[in-house]
Structure 1
């Protein structure tokens, strides 16, 4: 008959300590996952309809990072409570530390994303002011991306510092080689300058999403503002990609900085005999008939007088740059057609004036004979 001591000896022979330790950790991990699922479901059921919208959204998204956090903390406590160190104990501890750092970064990023989406949802709800909406959208998105990038960078740096080889290399590098550290700083300058420019742009907002800008002699609409660059959709559907730092260091034109409305100008070069008052009256009539005119600015003036023509400039306003361009084309075309029909003599003409000179006296009359 087997005694208890012999049975324990056989059990230890079949199940060594390291395998027992890992089995315990596996069972604890399963129980922790089950407990986390039960608690999260219970919270959703009990607090349904009682939570604010932000808390409800956060509860839906915080599940994966909190699951990782529960696993890391629970397994860490269990590992410290084992009677004997298992094989690879140090490696398991490092993995748990690694997971805990990821949990902190992941959870922080989830909270930032949820808070920004909640704020945008309520700030833009029922807002009819497009300028205010674009301002809020630009600020929140830029700040969110900058904060998420910073959190991701800090998380990665903390993970790397848990690796002894990397930590020792980094300490020795910056302690004994200041020149190398300066070189790394200079190499990272474009990235850092764009990140800083992103924060400045979010606060000061010289350019926003949807703004119509003139950059490097190219006109387009701001389509995307990313962490380090801006995408501008040009009028012919090309895309211009510009670093964020460009908008903080170089001049550019923002056609919708204060308002989306804009003034367009059309020039006509007509004959001096043109009845300006009649042309001005017809110009105003055409503007009133056009649905593109927003009713703010309408003026026609003689702005120059050249050798063969006079220059008439018509000013008109529209709700956007695209509408202003179409309005200019429409008024230019219709006024020319009206001039051709009613005042054709007002179109530019070339004049030649010939003077009659007296004939020379005939030979022999008051002249010399040859």
Structure 2
């Protein structure tokens, strides 16, 4: 009977005590969260309740396992695996605490920062630091687990003999990985690109959705995700439409006939721009920027608050001006000149005329 009661008391007592301590810590964090609603740290720290219970339970079991009189001949093996579990649970708890601290700092800074770009910069830096620390903690935990096994010491001693050759091989093999690692740190603290920035990379327009230690994810306008190594952004040029402020100037180009009424088009452009909700009120313009033997190039420009607004403004302006030109001044659209008459001027056939003749 005693052989049954001893394990029950040890395991049951460890479970109850671990649950009580974790419950008390959770209640204390809940009260702190109620007293300080301005910071989410205390609520986020409550996510560590389960790993805290695991650490406490396994630590108590390991400390009192001898009292159970179980596995007397395999005590070293049991202690070994209990230690491995403690290391894993402790790493889990540390990562939960780290995530809570990172999210708290990012949210508090975002709440007080007047510049959204600086808030995105801080979030990017914190995200990369969190992932770097996560990698370090994971490596340390894995190394601590491996060192618990006696065989690993012999393995490590044999590897030291060829450390020079292995170092060269590892350096060559990890060149790309290390390059991306340092590129990620350069991005985080060099402020080249941040989470939420609007960028154009390889002719793809999108928003930076995620920045990891070795890669970066761009979400395109059609909701595709492009994953690229972070070293790309330190070695090749790219457009960052959010750097230095989110305000942009959008341009729309038209190829019109030489007879196009520029002043009327300029007046209509002003009317359309001022009536558009996406215009930020800063500036607009319309100029003839180039000529060819058959057409002129007209550029309409207008400013907007964000990249999304400037895209919509450009599309609206292009569509509305084309409709107005087709309705009010169809002769201003490019046509094909058939003949030249010194008295009557050139005869022209527009696209609309060609469509009617085919019918």
TM bucket (normalised to shorter chain) is: 0.7 to 0.9
Q: Output the TM-score relative to the length of structure 2.
A: 0.79
Name the structure 2 match of 1:3: none
Q: 1:29 to 1:195 in 2, by over 3 A?
A: farther
Count the aligned residue pairs: 338
User: Normalized against structure 1, the TM-score is what?
Assistant: 0.77
Aligned to 2:11: 29
Alpha carbons of structure 1 residues 336 and 93: separation in structure 2 relative to 1, 3 Å: closer
Match for residue 21 of structure 2 among 7, 21, 39: 39
Instruction: Judge conservation of contact 2:41–2:100 (CA < 8 Å) in 1.
Output: no
Q: How big is each residue's C-alpha offset from its partner over 1:248-302, in whole Å with a ceiling of 9 and x where there is no partner?
A: 2322111222233322212223333434333222211111122222222301112
Q: 1:194, CA displacement in angstroms?
A: 2.9
Paired residues for 1:168-187 under 5 Å:
168-187=154-173
Mapping of residues 1-370 of structure 1, within 5 Å:
24=6, 27-45=9-27, 49-50=31-32, 56-57=42-43, 60-78=46-64, 86-125=72-111, 130-349=116-335, 350=337, 352-353=339-340
Does structure 2 retain, via aligned residues, the 8 Å contact 1:146–1:195?
Answer: no
Distance, in Å, in 2 between the alignment partners of 1:63 and 1:149 is 22
Name which one, 1 or 2, has greater alpha-carbon Rg: 1
Asked if 2 retains the 8 angstrom alpha-carbon contact of 1:173 and 1:181, the reply is no
Which consecutive residues of structure 1, in runs of 5 or more, have no partner in the other structure?
A: 1-13, 357-370
Inter-partner Cα distance in structure 2 for 1:118 and 1:315: 42
Say what the alpha-carbon RMSD is for the aligned residues.
Answer: 3.4
Name the CA shift for 1:289/1:172 in 2 (closer, same or farther; >3 Å): same
Deviation at 1:211, TM superposition (A): 1.9
- Paired with 1:121 and 1:206, the residues of 2 have a C-alpha distance of 22
Instruction: Say if 1:45 and 1:255 are closer, same or farther in 2 by CA, change over 3 A.
Output: closer
How big is the shift at 1:219?
2.0
